[in-house]
Amino acid sequence: MQRHRAADLIAFAADLFAAAGCDADKPATIAAGLVEADLLGHTTHGLQLAPAYLNELAAGKMSPTGDPSILQDRGPTIAWDGRALPGVWLAAKAVDLAAERALRFGLCAVAIRRSHHIACLAAFLERATSRGLMVTIASSDPAVASVAPFGGKAPVYTPDPIAIGIPTAGDPILIDISASITTNGMAARLRKEGKRFPGPWALDAAGTVTDDPEALFTNPPGTLLPTGGADHGHKGYGLALLIEALTQGLGGHGRADAPGGWGASVFVQCFDPAAFGGADAFLRQSTWLADACRACPPAPGVDAVRLPGQRGLERKRKALADGVELYPGIFEALKPLAEKWSIRMPEAV
């Protein structure tokens, strides 16, 4: 498989988004966010999304220029109307603002309504943890339903991802999970490749547990199961209700408004440990816990206990040194767009 320099991929993607009409720092920020996802191994939410985003721009469904509208700004609490601007750019801007304000106020939260899709949540975490801050990011799409509440068989909400970045004295802990067993992006990829889920991760339209992603694309559709599955799905269901409240409730716009189109409601919060028990004290606790988890004797069949994000950061360091391996089909999907705008494809390392 070919490898490419991360900087070349970012420059290439930035050229594509600039050609599509995105202004100011949007092309560079979107490109860096998508490539960061690929560096961390979240290949369904990296450059694979670029063709769909570019098509949304071409169709006028993603706004290429301007800034979000400020609905509220009370210092440590902020609400924006994202105006369907690129979600990767909005989320990055929100994390940066929340980090800046958290250093002033101790914590800061930003709620965004009517954002476009924000791609990989884990890709934003180091923007805050690199400054010694703890960060939480959550997202939902009020126009889409693909997950049933526990005990039901009809979709009501989205996979509802949430990511948390926790600084330690070494690598940060980077948690990126969702309230459903898997994502819509992974389900679509497995269906396209004629594969099945690794386990009983979905319900068909009749409410029967299945490992077939095709069940999500019938009429009427089946649903993804919440995290915990058919047995303990009340845990994922509860997490989804929290995420829906953080993203749509605090943003003041969501499913009750019956919105249309591909988009996101977003919640970002940063915490400065120095404003609580102290930065050094926080690192002492988080580092002890990280070390204890890694030192835990592994169960049979497990080589070692890892922390969330550990494998992704190892993958990122290797890719930055040796080149990025993109998932098959990504370059083929981007090539027609590059030819359309006479943008040179990146050369392999």
Q: Is residue 209 part of a domain?
A: no
Looking at the fold, whether 89 and 76 belong to one and the same domain comes out as yes
Separation of first and last alpha carbons in the chain: 11
Looking at the fold, whether 233 and 129 belong to one and the same domain comes out as yes
Q: What is the pLDDT of residue 185?
A: 87
The alpha carbons of the chain give a radius of gyration, in whole angstroms, of 20
Phi–psi pair at 71, nearest 5 degrees? -90, -35
Spatial contact of 172 and 127, defined as CB atoms under 8 Å apart: no
Looking at the fold, whether 120 and 240 belong to one and the same domain comes out as yes
Domain that holds residue 234: 70-181+225-308
Looking at the fold, whether 290 and 330 belong to one and the same domain comes out as no
Looking at the fold, whether 91 and 127 belong to one and the same domain comes out as yes
Looking at the fold, whether 151 and 23 belong to one and the same domain comes out as no
Looking at the fold, whether 62 and 161 belong to one and the same domain comes out as no
What gap in Å lies between CA 235 and CA 238, rounded to an integer?
A: 5
Looking at the fold, whether 61 and 79 belong to one and the same domain comes out as no
CATH number at residue 348: 1.10.1530.10
Can you give the pLDDT of all 349 residues of the chain as single tens digits? Answer: 789 999 999 999 999 999 999 999 999 999 999 999 999 999 999 999 999 999 999 999 999 999 999 999 999 999 999 999 999 999 999 999 999 999 999 999 999 999 999 999 999 999 999 999 999 999 999 999 999 999 999 999 999 999 999 999 999 999 999 999 998 889 999 999 999 999 999 999 999 999 999 999 999 999 999 999 999 999 999 999 999 999 999 999 999 999 999 999 999 999 999 999 999 999 999 999 999 999 999 999 999 999 999 999 999 999 999 999 998 999 999 999 999 999 999 999 9
Looking at the fold, whether 19 and 147 belong to one and the same domain comes out as no
Q: How many domains does the chain have?
A: 2
Spatial contact of 125 and 137, defined as CB atoms under 8 Å apart: yes
Looking at the fold, whether 5 and 88 belong to one and the same domain comes out as no
Apex 185 CA angle, 328 and 53, nearest 5: 80
Q: Is residue 278 part of a domain?
A: yes
Which tokens go with 334?
Answer: 């981007």
Q: Is residue 190 part of a domain?
A: no
Asked if the peptide bond before residue 220 counts as cis, ω within 30 degrees of 0, the response is yes
What gap in Å lies between CA 14 and CA 20, rounded to an integer?
A: 10
Q: Say what the pTM is.
A: 0.95
Looking at the fold, whether 244 and 150 belong to one and the same domain comes out as yes
